[in-house]
A and B are shown apart, each in its own frame.
Chain A
Amino acid sequence: MVVEVRVKLKEQVLDPQGEAIRRVLAGLGYAEIEQVRVGKLMLLEVAGKDATAVRSRVEEACREVLANPVIEEFEVRLP
């Protein structure tokens, strides 16, 4: 099944990339866009049918590899 993983910086962490995009937007006439936060969307094709087992395995992969739990948070979505 295809599992969707969203990784983004925790709310309290500075996002220099998002801030750079915000500045460009403001400069090109989109001043009403007040904040930009950039994250990652990953699509994982996982072998297995048991949704609970797949979820717990993908969440483990998120904690260990795909996200940096010190500064990032993640969300796992199953089909």
Chain B
Amino acid sequence: MKWDAPATVELAREHGLSEEEFERILSDLGRVPNLTELGIFAALWSEHCSYKSSRVHLKKFPTRGPRVIQGPGENAGVVDLGQGWVTVFKMESHNHPSFIEPYQGAATGVGGILRDVFTMGARPVMILDSLRFGSLDAPRMPHLVDGVVRGIGDYGNCVGVPTVGGEVDFHPSYNGNILVNAMCVGVARGDGIFYGRASGPGNRVVYLGSKTGRDGIHGATMASDVFDETASAKRPTVQVGDPFTEKLLIECCLELMGKGLVVGIQDMGAAGLTSSAFEMAARAGCGLTLDLSRVPARERGMTPYELMLSESQERMVLVVTPDNVAPVLEVCGRWGLDAVEVGTVIPEPEVVARFEGRQAFRLPLAPLVDDAPRYDRPWVEPAPAAAVTLPNLRDREWAADLREMLASPVFASSRPVWQQYDQSVGASTVIGPGADAALQLIEGTNIGLAATTDCNALACSLDPFNGAAQAVAEAVRNLACVGAEPVGVTDCLNFGSPENPGVMGQFVAAVDGLAEACRAFEVPVVSGNVSFYNETSGTAIVPTPTVGMVGIVPGVRHRPRSHWHLGDAIYLLGPLEGELGGSRYLQIVLGLEAGPVPAVDYDGERRIAAVARDLVRLGLAAAKDLSDGGLAVAAVEMSGGTVGCKLSLPASTSPVRVLFGEWRVGFALATPVAMEPALERACEGLPLTRLGVAGGTKMVVTLGRKTVLEASISELAALSEKGLGWLSEA
């Protein structure tokens, strides 16, 4: 079919547009669009680009705050750090491409999120990845895990940005739809921020980077499409990333911006040239002309349809004043990158494209961007999980239960994953992967920048509202463990089909939960991404609203430690017992995904996290929050696999709640004996219990006089190390 053939309702359907949407296009344009125009509508009206099912709900997020410089709506959010520094960050999903081709899918996911950050003028300094896989015995799953991890590692390592954190989780609902959420954090001077705006009629549009090929056409519509069994047969051409070109792009773009040579800049991500052209024009209230014959093409005979919709990687659009075109091309040439003038900014709000001497299309901006469809889809409120009757949990072999948990993939050490990543390139990493949060120094200062990603999807499946709110609370606690206070949130909301009222209900509840928690912690949401249609053959994934949180340590004086040392006193800051509803103990040991997930105690969380943060900053304690797996799992992690501990609790406490209870506002603290009085003073007025001391080769827990758990610490740690060990052997 030719690129300028008239569109029909059948073609619209093949592009993922409904009949009503096609009718709307006809009335918006007052004529029948050609195939290229239809492709542009389909891309910009896709869920991925238009947020048509989510936008009405995303409005509930708090997006303003004293530190916020740029909230949602740009390529990434910008938050003030003080002393003239700002941080730029965002998280985005690359789920569907990674399921089809794990290595390239994950690699290009990292490439895409890096571009979102450096296009704002910031140097990317940290990558974090939140990964969700299915059961390891599901078809292709070990291959997917291995491919995704190598893809992330190879891209990040080649481009020279450290991968410093993230999370790995497993659940059978991801068997046919894995999640790859990549987050990038960048740093810039406050006066060096640029926006994706095509302003100033008469200014020139410059195409920069790799040539345009036929890869990834329909990527944006694919990401908004449910997988079916034929997905692997359909197999759209996936994109292949080139991290070395990306590195050149980073340096070239930062030089162009540093010299003030560009007016606006944006990467070509999902929907390629289409989204960057229309979004940049819409943000500036201007229009563009494009000469598609000038777009550098990798193959012969490429049509306007392909040139507009290709998702070839490592490409940017720049807007430059006429005087600066020559200097810009000179800088790009020096970096060995193709740069071509392809168009002009015009005052009329439309995009007009020519191809081989004639008009290829002429489309008004409003119906495509600002007036794109918005749906308030029907939804039903999810019923929070009810309490379950638990079997007798009194005299069990607690050590055996702990071993079973540590041996499950959920608690497998992620070392075999992150040891494939370069964690310290740039020489600014203070704390890398494997800790509660990552911590970096801003080069040349002692300002610490911390980041973490969190989401307990099991809890979100039981209670999307409280589960999502707990994810925010956990992120706040994780930042406190490295002494950081939160400054902003980015989110990546992974759900099933929004056309299913049950799934839509989960989404609405999770957004409400995130919004409430972000408001309560006074942490604004500055960027994010929604990924719907994560389902295979009608089965949706468990709701997974991943929270990425960035924090600041105004002056880093020492490296916070995450393990206890021989002779340290061990304290529990917070209540002695946790809750079992939605806990990992029920999931792994009892095989129950059940029970209520408690609401967040915001007041308690804020007070206790503030104290833990101060203790870490002052070097008074090593802190670990008690979330997944409770105190027992936290103790194994704090032991570093070498130094045991003797912990005593009152006889009146319940062993299962003490060892494995979750959802408590609390931290395990370890401090040298000499500092105990200072620690106790700092915690005055808060529930603080001295549990015991670190030492020996065993973990021993007694309730009153009764020993409830006794096990070799190195043997426990080895169980967790084994889980993903096959990855490093592959």
Does B bind A? yes
Known: A23-B336, A70-B100, A71-B101. A13 touches B237 (CB 8 A): yes
A12 within 8 A of B: yes
Q: Smallest Cβ distance from B219 to chain A, in angstroms?
A: 13
The residues of A that contact B215 with a CB separation of less than 8 Å are: 12-14
Give CA–CA (A23, B100) in the complex, Å. Answer: 31
Contact residues of B: prevailing secondary structure = loop
The residues of B that contact A12 with a CB separation of less than 8 Å are: 213-215, 237, 299
Against A, the Cβ 8 Å flags (1 = close, 0 = not) of B193-235 are 0000000000000000010011100000000000000000001
B238 within 8 A of A: yes
Within 8 Å by CB of A16, from B100, B214, B235, B244, lies B244
The residues of A that contact B238 with a CB separation of less than 8 Å are: 13, 70-71
Residues 242-287 of B at the A interface (beta carbon under 8 Å): 242, 244-245
B497 within 8 A of A: no
Against B, the Cβ 8 Å flags (1 = close, 0 = not) of A49-79 are 0000000000000000000101100000000
Q: Determine whether the beta carbon of B245 is less than 8 Å from that of A10.
A: no
Residues 13-32 of A at the B interface (beta carbon under 8 Å): 13-16, 19-20, 23
Q: Looking across the interface, which residue of chain A has its beta carbon closest to that of B237? A: A12
Give CA–CA (A13, B238) in the complex, Å. Answer: 7
Q: Determine whether the beta carbon of A14 is less than 8 Å from that of B299.
A: no
The residues of B that contact A13 with a CB separation of less than 8 Å are: 213, 215, 237-238, 240
Q: Looking across the interface, which residue of chain A has its beta carbon closest to that of B239? A: A14
The residues of B that contact A23 with a CB separation of less than 8 Å are: 336
The residues of A that contact B239 with a CB separation of less than 8 Å are: 14
A45 within 8 A of B: no
Give CA–CA (A70, B98) in the complex, Å. Answer: 12
Residue among A11, A20, A68, A71 with most chain B CB within 10 A? A71
B396 within 8 A of A: no
Give CA–CA (A67, B299) in the complex, Å. Answer: 23
Known: A23-B336, A68-B101. A14 touches B298 (CB 8 A): yes
Q: Determine whether the beta carbon of A71 is less than 8 Å from that of B104.
A: yes
Known: A68-B101, A70-B235, A71-B240. A14 touches B336 (CB 8 A): no
Q: Determine whether the beta carbon of B101 is less than 8 Å from that of A14.
A: no
Q: Determine whether the beta carbon of A11 is less than 8 Å from that of B299.
A: yes
Known: A12-B299, A13-B240. A70 touches B101 (CB 8 A): yes
B312 within 8 A of A: yes
The residues of A that contact B100 with a CB separation of less than 8 Å are: 70
Give CA–CA (A71, B237) in the complex, Å. Answer: 7
Q: Smallest Cβ distance from A49 to chain B, in angstroms?
A: 33
B344 within 8 A of A: no
The residues of A that contact B242 with a CB separation of less than 8 Å are: 14, 16, 19
Residue among A13, A14, A70 with most chain B CB within 10 A? A14
Q: Determine whether the beta carbon of B299 is less than 8 Å from that of A16.
A: no
Give CA–CA (A52, B104) in the complex, Å. Answer: 34
Against B, the Cβ 8 Å flags (1 = close, 0 = not) of A1-16 are 0000000011111111
Q: Determine whether the beta carbon of B214 is less than 8 Å from that of A20.
A: no
B313 within 8 A of A: yes
The residues of B that contact A16 with a CB separation of less than 8 Å are: 240, 242, 244-245
Q: Looking across the interface, which residue of chain A has its beta carbon closest to that of B147? A: A68
Q: Determine whether the beta carbon of B312 is less than 8 Å from that of A14.
A: yes
Q: Smallest Cβ distance from A47 to chain B, in angstroms?
A: 28
Q: Smallest Cβ distance from B272 to chain A, in angstroms?
A: 14
Give CA–CA (A14, B243) in the complex, Å. Answer: 12
Give CA–CA (A17, B210) in the complex, Å. Answer: 13
Residue among B214, B240, B312, B313 with most chain A CB within 10 A? B240
Give CA–CA (A31, B242) in the complex, Å. Answer: 22
Within 8 Å by CB of A20, from B101, B240, B244, B313, lies B244
The residues of B that contact A11 with a CB separation of less than 8 Å are: 299
Give CA–CA (A75, B42) in the complex, Å. Answer: 37
- Report B's interface with A, CB cutoff 8 A: 100-101, 104, 210, 213-215, 235, 237-240, 242, 244-245, 298-299, 312-313, 336
Q: 14 extra interchain contacts, Cβ-Cβ under 8 A, other than A16-B245, A20-B244?
A: A9-B240, A11-B299, A13-B238, A14-B210, A14-B215, A14-B240, A14-B312, A15-B240, A16-B244, A70-B100, A70-B101, A70-B238, A71-B101, A71-B238
Q: List 13 A-B contacts (CB under 8 A).
A: A12-B213, A12-B214, A12-B215, A13-B213, A13-B215, A13-B237, A13-B238, A14-B213, A14-B240, A15-B240, A16-B242, A16-B245, A23-B336
- Report A's interface with B, CB cutoff 8 A: 9-16, 19-20, 23, 68, 70-71
- A-B pairs with lowest CB-CB distance, top 10: A16-B242, A12-B214, A14-B240, A70-B101, A12-B237, A13-B240, A14-B213, A12-B215, A70-B238, A70-B235
